[in-house]
A = this chain, B = another copy of it.
Amino acid sequence: MSQFLGGVCKGEDIGLFTDFYELTMCASYFDNQNFKPATFDLFIRRLPANRSYFLFAGLEQVLLYLQSVKFTEQHLDYLKRQGFELQFLEYLRNFKFTGDVWSVPEGTVAFPNEPLIRITAPIIEAQVVETFILNTVNLQTTMATKASRVVHAAKGKSVIEFGLRREHGIDAGMKVARSSYIAGCKGTSNVLAGMVYDIPVFGTMAHSFIMSYPKELDAFRAFAKTFPDKSTLLIDTYEEMAGLEKAIMVAKELETKGFRLGGVRLDSGDLAETSKKVRKILDDNSLGYVKIFVSGDLDEFRIAELLSKGAKIDSFGAGTKMGTSSDRPYLDVIYKLCETMTAPNVYSPSMKLSCDKLTLPSRKQVYRYKDSDGNYVRDVIALDSEKVLDAEPLLVKVMSEGKMTYTLPSLNQIKDFASDNLCRLPDKYKALTDVEMYPVELSQELQELVKILRERLLETR
């Protein structure tokens, strides 16, 4: 049974959810008796086309993971069969994450190269946890970013996350609902996410419901009988205008019983034109209270287009394209070494020079400058040791020696924080295409350090 859930049944079972190279590197660190602390930055290398910011999400899962990650006897047996040495396996048997962690809060608007999570731990520990952390931050930040764009495009009309059937598996189904809610969606179709995360759930009916009755009108009446005060009727199974006519009959029947039809839904065809016609006919029939809900291949571009054509839509169901971030289903989230301890309590900065893949050395902090109204003006990435005035440091300490030192905010608090962050980001940085780039600078001291290290590395390696 565990197999169909991907072998992951308990938090403790997740130790092996890692890339094999993390374990070969760790075996070599162990073999060479390297237990020295090191610092890693998690950051996103670059903005994809049509993105101008990231909405950071996933920290809660990172912290729960770091508190619980371990290796079971079954894992150790498996690793033994893969040829790992017994002493290393003994080390893994007692594995526990004991590091310090700094992070920006979930719901923070962030930009390329800014450290989002900073981990200082014995190098084996810091390395073992890389894969899971990248995996959940990539998923949730990709999805929160995408959903925030969809919500922005909807200009205040509500957006519901409807993509469960095509999101990538069980965990994605849950995390997309969570991230989309953080990003401003009103709710989800995923009932389990509704229960687990206390997110409002929404749903109407499928075409199959209509088709299972000999006549469309019978189907509408049957549904309205069960949900007299909250039915949304899907009117496009055969032909929308004929469907609308029957929905209006049912709405009138409901009125005689003291109820009101909630809405009608369109899932195909020319949604802009049809929604206008439907709105007019509903209004002409004194059904101004009946809402129009649309779905079908919606993303930020399609929603913006519909609204620009004057579509009369109250609510958008955004499915596959939002739930898979289909135009860009990943971000360049990476986790890079930035310092190692080279003598007791002496830390030396590390940097990579590969073509186009330079990294920023040493422990860093991100500072955000705001204008007098609190709107974001520019960010500066600085050395952690620098004093920077008049700007807000974004990274906060969330874990000390493996213990959480941070009160996890509720999901609604994260949602409010995200909404506040997105508000303070000026509109010119939120255009859907051809967007202006938000300025992120390196402090003078950090620039100097990069320069010195580059010269030194080119000489000595």
Q: Which of A1, A225, A333, A461 gathers the greatest number of chain B CB atoms within 10 Å?
A: A461
A249 at the interface (CB under 8 A from B): no
Q: Is the CB of B40 within 8 A of A267?
A: no
Could you tell me if B195 and A78 are in contact, using CB atoms closer than 8 angstroms? yes
Known: A11-B4, A227-B28. A212 touches B168 (CB 8 A): no
What chain B residues lie within 8 Å of A24 (beta carbons)?
Answer: 203-205, 223, 226-227
Question: A262 CB to closest chain B CB, in angstroms?
Answer: 11
Question: Does B356 contact A189, Cβ atoms closer than 8 Å?
Answer: no
B201 touches A82 (CB 8 A): yes
Identify 19 new A-B residue pairs, CB closer than 8 A, beyond the known A18-B191, A28-B205, A170-B170: A3-B196, A4-B11, A4-B64, A5-B10, A6-B193, A7-B193, A16-B195, A20-B194, A28-B223, A31-B222, A130-B206, A135-B167, A166-B330, A169-B170, A171-B171, A238-B461, A239-B458, A242-B461, A325-B329
- CA gap between A56 and B19 in the complex, in Å: 26
Contacts of A253 in B (CB 8 A): none
Q: What 1/0 flags go to A195-223 for Cβ under 8 Å of B?
A: 11100011111111101101110000011
Assess whether A362 is interfacial by the CB under 8 Å rule: no
Query: How would residues 54 to 78 of chain A score, 1 for a CB under 8 Å from any chain B CB and 0 otherwise?
Result: 0000001100110010000011001
Stretch in A107-115, A334-342, A390-398, A426-434 with 4+ CB within 8 Å of B: A334-342
Is the beta-carbon distance between B38 and A165 smaller than 8 angstroms?
no
| CB of A117 closer than 8 Å to a CB of B | no
B135 touches A16 (CB 8 A): no
**Bound form: Cα–Cα A31–B165 in Å:** 26
What are the residues of chain B within 8 A of A223 when measuring CB–CB?
24-25, 28
